[in-house]
Structure 1
Amino acid sequence: MTVDVRSLTDPEERWAAIPALSDLRIRVFRSWPYLYDGSAEYEAAYMAEFVREPGSVLVVARDGDSIIGAATASPLEGQKPDIQNPFCDQGLDVAQIFYFGESVLLPQYQGQGIGHRFFNAREDAARAAGARKTAFCAVIRPDDHPMRPETPRDLHPFWRARGYAPVPGLTGTLEWQDLGDDFESAHVMQFWMRDL
């Protein structure tokens, strides 16, 4: 199978991709560790907000005409307070940081180097924007969580091999509805960062 990975820069192409990207996010984030019970309406609004953000980067992976993966990034200055505030609280200069949003890929395409291509494209965009650091966050789930798989996929070695490390004390919270719940709850997020 040949997968094409590229950044979408044309505004019309980015807007046209929103339904497929929304569906992809819902499908991938339903799995461990996010267990996200999302809706198409929320996802479409989220992606539209992202597409409007100046300096945002949208990288998609396609197998034929189907979008099977995507990764996003943008200057940290353009993120919401929930994302910016933990950095400000640590005295970090948000103007120097490029923030990586999601990186989602259907399971059957994992292990083929697409994740590296997502990181390469976003890091190149961060350098082009003059950023000195890149960062992202990942949810922290307890080891005894009832929905934890017997052998969950651990992305920490992959992230470390890319030069990222969790920053001690740099955590925040994001709210979403977990599978099986009928309410949103706060989730602790650990931020990872690297110098460019």
Structure 2
Amino acid sequence: MVFELDNKKLEFPHPSYADEDGLLAIGGDLSADRLLLAYSNGIFPWFSDDTPILWYAPHPRFVIYPAKIKISKSMAACIRKKTFSISVDRSFHTVIQNCSAINRKDQDGTWITEDMIQAYTALHEIGYAHSVEVWQDGLLVGGLYGMLINGVFCGESMFSKVPNASKAALIYLAQEIDLQLIDCQFHTSHLESMGGEYLSLPDYLAILTKKPRYEQSL
């Protein structure tokens, strides 16, 4: 069942009511308060310019436990050679712009609309949305961004302009940041190859609510 949100009320139905494809609700806005409430309850927006705001809560959830991330031999060699340098929150706006513009196989256009860019940039400015940047010879060649809620990093998107750049960002996130969980949201074969696995909704929500709400520091 898909719920229609009341713009005047800051509330969501329980994520367990989401449809089989994860769709839970429609409408509302992208205010900081609504987005923080959504993420703290395992809900996130995913829509395009030609649709209203759609809110998802897929279950089971596809996640990576940081300690269980898989690193291929070629990727391990890339890390040893220090092919890239990596930073955190140095160029958030550039990362999200690149994520919105990158061409993706079997995908027509982007779900990262201008309204979403503005919303997540505002959340970054108050300390809740974060980016990992990957640099090579002084140029930004890859990265990712997402929300940090209660020790769970909810990954929104990543991009790569050279081989292995986005993998380097994800590995850095898993190994260098103190996280309980990386929420990949939906399954992809790429994320599965790096250790992604399914987690039941009750178990996911239990992890999400272990720490004080809205913990935000990387």
Normalised by the length of structure 2, the TM-score is 0.43
Q: TM-score, normalised by structure 1?
A: 0.46
Structure having the larger proportion of residues in strand: 1
- Larger proportion of helix: 1
